Amino acid sequence: MSETTTPAAAPAAAPTPAPDPSGLTGAAGVLPGKPVDEMKAALAAANPHAAEHVQANTAKRAERQAQVTALFQERFGVGDLEVANGGPLIPAARHAELARALKDTGFTFYVTVAASHWPAQKTKTGDEPESFEVATVLRSVGPGSLQVSWRVKLAPGEELDSLAPLFAGADWQEREQFDLVGVRFLGHPDLRRLMMPDEWEGHPLRRDYAIDTRCEPWR
Amino acid sequence: MGYLLSTLKSLYATLRQALSKPTTVEFPKVKRERAPRIRASFALTKDAAGDENCIGCKKCEKVCPSEVITVVASKKPSPVTGKARGYADDFTLNLQACIICELCVQVCPTDAIIMVKEQEAPGFSRADLTLTMDKLYKNAETKEKWAWANATVLGEHQKPAEEKKPALAPKPVPAAAAPTPTGAPATATPATAPPATAAPTAPATAAAPATNAATLAAARSPASVSPPPADEKKGGA
Amino acid sequence: MTFVLSNPWLHGLVFGAVLVSVLMALVAFITWFERKLAGRIQSRLGPTMVGPFGLLQPIADAVKAMQKDFIVPKDADRFLFWLAPPLTIAFALATAAVIPFSKDVLAANLDVGVLYALAFSGLLAFPTWVAGWASNNKYALLGGMRMVAQGISYEIPMVMAALVPVTLAGTLSMQGIVEYQVASGWIIATPVGAAAGLLFLTTALAEGNRIPFDIPEAESELVAGPTTEYNAIGWSIFAASEYAHSVITAAIVSALFLGGWDGWWNLPPLLWMVAKTGFVFLIVTWVRWSLLRFRSDQLMALCWKYLVPGALLLVLIAGIQVSVRG
Amino acid sequence: MAVAVEAVATAPVVPTKAFVPDPYLDLDTYEADADLMTLSLGPQHPSTHGVFRVVLYLDGEIIVKAVPHCGYLHRGVEKLCEKLAYSNITPVLDKNDYVAPMLNEQAANMAFEKLMGIEVPLRAKYLRTLLAELQRIASHLLWLGTFAMDLGGALGGGTSVFMYCFRERELILDVFEELTGCRFHYNTHHVGGNRHDIPPGWPKLVHEALDTIESRLEAYLVMLEHPIFVDRTKGVGTIDAQLALELGLSGPLLRASGVDHDLRRDAPYGVYDLLDVQVAVDGGGDCLARYKVRLAEIRESIRLSRLLIDNVPQGPLSATKPLNMVTQFKAAAGQVYVGIESPRGELGTWLIASKDKPTNPYRFKIRPPSLHAAAAVPYVFPGHTLSDAVAILGSLDPIMGEVDR
């Protein structure tokens, strides 16, 4: 264990702190560290294959990326993938078809589904009706693992067909989204609430839920 | 047969562990050595001239994720310098809900609220666990209880690259004049031993917060490899 | 004094009272010893607070257990629920009657001592099952069922392993076996004796459901097996009977295989008997704190596929050895 | 030992057991020898590692159907995070996967930085990778201890291994205490980098801890390589590659089923692109394979940590000014997903920011790897006995704080 520093000798003289063998002087001091290129050289020496992995990743990922953009381009007529915005908007009817196509091109790993509630609001471009947005993320497995995501905009009460028949992992995630945000999934084997008790009414993660709590939700 | 052989091996393994020294200590009698950076409880500091550091800006109240700090502030003439400045009339910190995330210490502009190394602060009633203002100031009495971090030191650790000025020669602090409460962040010595109370002489760690800023800046500059010996300026005592 | 010794009723009564009180004190000490040993094995201190080196810890536990309220679950079978703990401790202590502590110091010098001891230790499965059945809790029921399955199936190899010293010594009386070992060397020294001793110890572990055979009260599966619904004095009686049973089995093992009170350097025979029992109990506890647990079907497979044929083989060899020796 | 993905993934799914587990089995169509016994494993049960309830339908002692119920530890973290500013979310997230808090902080802060377009300096990325590897060791050690206790019982050999693992994990917690001051909930990551820089004596401390762990690990692993342990775990709870991928299992569970996938090597973040991460893959898919994979990961993390602690680069620790206002970090509108490799699998954050409230996330969805481990229970339990169920649940290692959020 480290021991704290030894107390100063004489208060009058400038107490030079005795060098603390554990080097944890007052623990505010900082490890200077090595220059960056020296660090990179040391790591490269210890990890010969690191560069190989990076090339393999970039090559495989570029190939997968090309497949995905091609898929979106031809079958869904979607130009850019709007990665900054979480993926292109896909009509609700073609949601399962896209998932099936992506699974065939190698995106076999089901990552997550995230539903969000967008209440009606008046924006500059005219007032938007209330809507729900369901984003789904899939990932390809192995070197060059790439994640692809797309979004579907739903009117309140509209149902989205479930991915549970395709991916068994989607079962619980979709149940959680139904429980917390209230988006129903068509064809889901047993759509019950996952977190809340079954007789709970209301969906907690909606923007209009529990606004009147003690602490106003938006500080 | 395999069962018997590996049973003997397991027995041998436990025998070796049984013969080695146990790692637990009898806790109440023997205290375990904690790290210098341990974050346990809180304290409010006073500056060199004995004036309260806290100016009642309520930044800590806003930043606290679990909303345990409540501050009642007002403008009053300062008993030491006579000028009117902000003071906290009532500062309560409810330790029951505090998650020790150290954000209040970080955002405090005048290094008023700091953490102390006190190992554990057991409370036998809810009132014990609500740190009122006098408890907070009493916590700051003995210097070696101070933890390592206050806003300046934490700020030093997180200073982004471009603002890294070379290590300034530390501005000699005139013993008499009290540094202005805001205090220039880089070099002012925010807190030294209060002259009024017969505080024990400042052991090395006590001076640590004062010299840390300088040694840190020095240590940070790539040129110097080993931190320089503690600079000549000592907190006035 | 002689009148007491001569009248069988009074003899049994006095000796029984002495034996039970000594055993219960021993059990108290053993709980402390086991917790200290387990602590050392797990590189921690074990009880240190209560009394010097934590020696008064068992008394503290006993007092804590006594002053708690004996809760009976709602629609449990009240009479059976209350009956199970006393029955367990009775059967566990009953086997102590035949243990030869020294030349003439034993409670009952039955000439069917071995049979009596095995019968009572075999009976232990019954009250545990009663506890499991009466406490109206699914985990307890499962634990009780497992206890019956394990208790009965491990009874057979245990009896056969005990048959080896009986055939070698030619008598069923414990005192007789010890005298045979005094005359012609400990049974553990002979190869067949050693194998039988090891087998007897393993089955004794299973009988007292100690690790690695503690399937009935497997904490991580069945919460606490048949003793789930018991608290306070009920549970501590179950724990005491488990410790008492393993001490007495250690005593039987040392009597049958390690030569009972036979020892050199003319130390008092009683001291030898206690030392051997302590040594065997140390091994049992040491095994307990370093092995994992079987699954119940593996347990049965081990018993019927390996232990029973092995025991039969040993009895055969012992028989041949005796007949050859003439 | 890495098995090529294509070979395994396309292998035909042959029901290995005569008893094909059907999670949505309709009980009255199932003709049982005796009438079924419903047994509720949890929510208050010694081996459910947290508040998790599985209703088991037992035919004799064989499980016919398992219906898990979670949500007992649901604290509404996602709703709370919608109220908190970006700087305040980190301390709340420490409590999600309370066995590996460093990884929770890292995942969330990486998502904030990606959304706000902040580039973290090299030293901060380096320190984050090092802390992640140390935390992986501590998390796997805790799993090893609780797994041994599940198989060995609370008053037996299992507890000895549990105590040893906790004694080793203590060393890592002390190392974190030297750096951040807290043993468990550190709040040491913040948007743009880390908050606590490395004290000068730290590398020596880390080396001591790693050497002690490595030497002691060999000492008591002999207690686990015991035929009883192998009997209890071999062929128990087998998940083949196809089912593992479909279920969305990730991390050690996926690699134990033979799929060679590790985000640290396949989608490197932080300083992992400079490192050559040896990914341990075992085609068994049963509890023993999961044990072997996690053990190999402990050794791999020890190797990586030793390498990293010796070459800490110079430079600043944070790209943003130290926090002085709660509304210091603002995010433009956008949605982003970032996934990192936590000891339990892919821990991701789906973050939505909106223009009208830039200081708080609009929607903050956390992708917990343990949710998929818990969701695998109805696919794996049927066909096993009750004691196997406990072993499988121990090997799947769901952390309820993360599942329920």
User: What is the full DSSP assignment across D314-327?
Assistant: -S-SBSSPPP-STT
Domain total for chain A? 1
Nearby residues of C279 by Cβ (< 8 Å), 6 or more positions away:
C254
Is A75 inside any structural domain? yes
Give the chains touching D; criterion: ≥3 Cβ pairs < 8 Å. A, B, C
Chain A touches chain C, with at least 3 Cβ pairs below 8 Å, answer no
Q: Distance between CA C219 and CA A29 in Å, rounded?
A: 49
Q: Which amino acid is at D114?
A: K
Q: What is the dihedral of CA D128, D131, D133, D138, to 10 degrees?
A: -150
pLDDT of residue D17: 41
Examine the pLDDT at C122 and tell me if it is beyond 90: no
pLDDT of residue B208: 39
pLDDT of residue A28: 63
DSSP B171-189: PPPPSSSPPPSS--TTT--
- Least Cα separation, residue B54 to chain D (angstroms): 15
Which CATH number is B57's domain given?
A: 3.30.70.3270
Is A197 inside any structural domain? no
- Name the residue among A48, A116, A142 with its Cβ closest to that of D266: A142
Examine the pLDDT at A150 and tell me if it is beyond 80: yes
pLDDT of residue A80: 76
H/E run at residue C41: helix C8-41
Is B53 inside any structural domain? yes
> Mean pLDDT of all residues in chain C?
86
Is B97 inside any structural domain? yes
pLDDT in tens, D123-160: 999 999 999 999 999 999 999 999 988 888 777 788 88
Count Cβ neighbours within 10 Å for each residue of B168-194 and write b for 16 or more, e otherwise: eebeebeeeebbebebebbbbbbbbbb
β-partners of residue A132 are: A117, A154
pTM of the model: 0.86
Examine the pLDDT at A11 and tell me if it is beyond 50: no
Count Cβ neighbours within 10 Å for each residue of C155-189 and write b for 16 or more, e otherwise: bbbbbbbbbbbbbbbebbbbbbbbbbbbeeebbbe
- Name the residue among A139, A205, A218 with its Cβ closest to that of D83: A218
pLDDT bucket at A129, cuts 50 / 70 / 90: confident
∠ CA D377-D378-D381, rounded to 5°: 70
Chain C touches chain B, with at least 3 Cβ pairs below 8 Å, answer yes
**What are C283's two structure tokens?**
């091994």
Distance of CA D26 to the CA centre of its chain: 33
Examine the pLDDT at C304 and tell me if it is beyond 70: yes
pLDDT in tens, A155-164: 988 899 999 8
Q: Is B158 on the interface with D (CB under 8 A)?
A: yes
Is C292 close to D47, i.e. CB distance below 8 A?
no
Is D159 close to C42, i.e. CB distance below 8 A?
yes
Q: For residue C142, which residues of chain D lie inside 8 Å, CB to CB?
A: 39, 61, 386
Burial grade of D119 (CB within 10 A; 0-12, 13-18, 19 or more): exposed
Examine the pLDDT at D6 and tell me if it is beyond 60: no
- For range D220-224, the mean pLDDT: 84
Using the Cα atoms of residue D186, residue D190, residue D194 and residue D196 in order, give the sign of their dihedral: negative
pLDDT of residue D371: 92
pLDDT of residue B162: 66
Which structural domain range is residue A141 located in?
A: 36-186
Q: Which amino acid is at D87?
A: S
* D349 within 8 A of D153, measured Cβ to Cβ: no
Which residue does chain B place closest to C202, by CA atoms? B4
pLDDT of residue D76: 87
Is A47 close to D307, i.e. CB distance below 8 A?
yes
- Least Cα separation, residue D343 to chain C (angstroms): 24
Q: Which of A30, A215, A218 to mutate to test the interface with B (most CBs of B within 10 A)?
A: A30
Q: For residue D225, which residues of chain B lie inside 8 Å, CB to CB?
A: 6
Residues in chain D: 405
The SS3 assignment for C120 reads: helix
Q: For residue B62, which residues of chain D lie inside 8 Å, CB to CB?
A: 326
Examine the pLDDT at C317 and tell me if it is beyond 70: yes
Is A176 close to D371, i.e. CB distance below 8 A?
yes
How many residue pairs from chains A and D have C-beta atoms closer than 8 A? 217
Examine the pLDDT at C24 and tell me if it is beyond 60: yes
* D78 within 8 A of D367, measured Cβ to Cβ: no
How many residue pairs from chains C and D have C-beta atoms closer than 8 A? 104
Q: For residue A180, which residues of chain D lie inside 8 Å, CB to CB?
A: 78
Q: Which residue has the tokens 């089912």?
A: D243
Which CATH number is A127's domain given?
A: 3.30.460.80
Compute φ and ψ for B4, nearest 5 degrees. -65, -45
Least-confidence region, from A83-87, B124-128, D308-312: A83-87
pLDDT in tens, D324-382: 777 888 888 889 999 999 999 999 999 999 888 888 899 999 999 999 999 999 999 88
Nearby residues of C72 by Cβ (< 8 Å), 6 or more positions away:
C78, C81, C82
pLDDT of residue C4: 66
- For range D38-58, the mean pLDDT: 82
- Name the residue among D271, D273, D307 with its Cβ closest to that of A46: D307
Q: Which amino acid is at D239?
A: I
pLDDT above 70 covers a percentage of chain C that reads 98
Give the chains touching C; criterion: ≥3 Cβ pairs < 8 Å. B, D
Give alpha helix (H) positions in chain A.
Answer: 36-46, 50-76, 95-104, 170-181
- Least Cα separation, residue A6 to chain B (angstroms): 7
pLDDT of residue B207: 39
Is A151 inside any structural domain? yes
- For range C285-305, the mean pLDDT: 86
Q: Which residue has the tokens 């599966």?
A: C221
- Least Cα separation, residue A128 to chain D (angstroms): 14
- Give the residue ranges of chain B where pLDDT is below 50: 164-165, 167, 169, 171-237
Give the up-direction half-sphere exposure of residue C260: CA atoms within 13 A in the CB hemisphere: 24
Neighbours of D79 (CB within 10 A): 18
Domain total for chain B? 1
Alpha-carbon distances, residue D243 vs A100, C135, C221, D10, D292 (angstroms):
17, 41, 27, 12, 20
Q: Distance between CA C279 and CA B100 in Å, rounded?
A: 52
Is B175 inside any structural domain? no
* C220 within 8 A of D158, measured Cβ to Cβ: yes
Least-confidence region, from B118-127, C25-34, D278-287: B118-127
Is A203 inside any structural domain? no
Q: Is D221 on the interface with C (CB under 8 A)?
A: no
* A186 within 8 A of A162, measured Cβ to Cβ: yes
- For range D79-97, the mean pLDDT: 89
Least-confidence region, from B148-157, D74-83, D141-150, D181-190: B148-157
Selected residue with higher pLDDT from D388 and B205: D388
Is A137 close to D348, i.e. CB distance below 8 A?
yes
Which residue does chain B place closest to D91, by CA atoms? B101
Q: Distance between CA D156 and CA D151 in Å, rounded?
A: 10
Q: Distance between CA B10 and CA D226 in Å, rounded?
A: 8
Least-confidence region, from A49-58, B53-62, B135-144, C22-31: B135-144
Q: For residue C290, which residues of chain B lie inside 8 Å, CB to CB?
A: 7, 10-11, 13-14
Which structural domain range is residue B136 located in?
A: 29-157
pLDDT bucket at D298, cuts 50 / 70 / 90: very high
**What are B150's two structure tokens?**
């206050």
Give alpha helix (H) positions in C107-231.
Answer: 113-123, 125-134, 138-169, 174-184, 191-207, 219-222
Chain D touches chain A, with at least 3 Cβ pairs below 8 Å, answer yes
